[in-house]
Amino acid sequence: MSRVLNRMSLEGKVAIVTGSGRGLGKAMALALADAGADLVVTARTGSEIEETAQEIEKLGRRVLAVPSDVTDPGRVDHLMKSTLERFGKVDILVNNAGVAIVKPLMELSLEEWRKTIDINLTSLYLCCKAIGPHMIGRRQGKVINVSSVDGAAGKATLVAYCAAKGGVIQFTKALAVEWAKFNIQVNAIGPGAFYTERMAVVFDDEKLGPIRRKKIPVGREGRPDELGPLVVYLASSASDFMTGETVFIDGGELAKL
């Protein structure tokens, strides 16, 4: 293996990926496993993370599936404790859990607003605070937060989601500065339009699909596996001098704005 590729290896590392039962979270978990990491996969739906776990095992990696609610402090603490009991350490935390409620602001209830903020943003606070003492004590760690192009550009009917994902970007910058002295790198990924279960209803529609693709300069939606190399880079020693950044992977959509 070349020196460059060797720096991308995650052999011996342990990663937690929230919201890893499907979509981008599952794709990132599989990519980390393919690069050599052992995984802890978590989401609310146990059957989904069990399927992810089975695919990771086929790659020859150790894996722990823990159903959890990342907006519940008690469940988050249980997740982190279960991880340390099984693997003894955590090297990488990928905060991917998210939800988008599509409604005009005047139709958005306070409950829906709070749900959106809690799942997309408060979960970062809870997960980082729970694993922080461990990473700080070891003086090393990688935190990768998942934002969105909608965290950098306004979009009608997604006010709460845009606010939360914009908050993820600022959370990433602030925590990166705070934890830099502990040799912990904190970065974010800002995905654009990817073909996932949630977006299939748009891209598979004969009318909506072509309209949505026209907004993307490269003329197509992203494939979940295309996030793999980026998350592996941010999780590896190759990115040790990079912190506080948000990397957008969106087919040029933001560049067009």
Distance of CA 56 to the CA centre of its chain: 17
* DSSP code, position 224: G
Structural domain that includes position 125: 3-256
- The predicted-structure confidence for 173-191, as pLDDT tens digits, reads as follows 999 999 999 999 999 999 9
- The total number of structural domains that make up the chain: 1
Among residues 87, 58, 189, 76, the alpha carbon closest in space to that of 127 is found at: 76
Kindly tell me the burial class for residue 203, based on how many C-beta atoms sit within 10 Å of its own C-beta (0-12, 13-18, 19 or more).
middle
d(C-alpha 26, C-alpha 19), whole Å: 8
The one-letter code for the residue type at 137 is: G
Among residues 94, 213, 104, 194, the alpha carbon closest in space to that of 158 is found at: 104
Catalytic residues: 161
| % of the chain residues with pLDDT over 90 | 96
Among residues 21, 1, 15, 176, the alpha carbon closest in space to that of 83 is found at: 15
Q: What is the mean pLDDT of residues 34-45?
A: 97
Q: Which residues contact 151 (CB under 8 A, 6 or more apart)?
A: 162, 164, 165, 166, 167, 168, 169, 190, 246
pLDDT of residue 1: 61
- The predicted-structure confidence for 204-248, as pLDDT tens digits, reads as follows 999 999 999 999 999 999 999 999 999 999 999 999 999 999 999
pLDDT band at 5 (very low <50, low <70, confident <90, very high): confident
Task: Lowest mean pLDDT of 16-20, 130-134, 197-201, 213-217, name the range.
Answer: 197-201
Q: Can you tell me whether residue 11 is helix, strand or coil? A: coil
d(C-alpha 185, C-alpha 112), whole Å: 32
d(C-alpha 33, C-alpha 17), whole Å: 11
Kindly tell me the burial class for residue 162, based on how many C-beta atoms sit within 10 Å of its own C-beta (0-12, 13-18, 19 or more).
buried
Q: What is the CA radius of gyration of the chain?
A: 18
Q: For the whole prediction, is pTM greater than 0.85? A: yes
Q: What is the CATH number of the domain that holds 149?
A: 3.40.50.720
d(C-alpha 104, C-alpha 154), whole Å: 13
Among residues 250, 256, 204, the alpha carbon closest in space to that of 223 is found at: 250
pLDDT of residue 4: 87
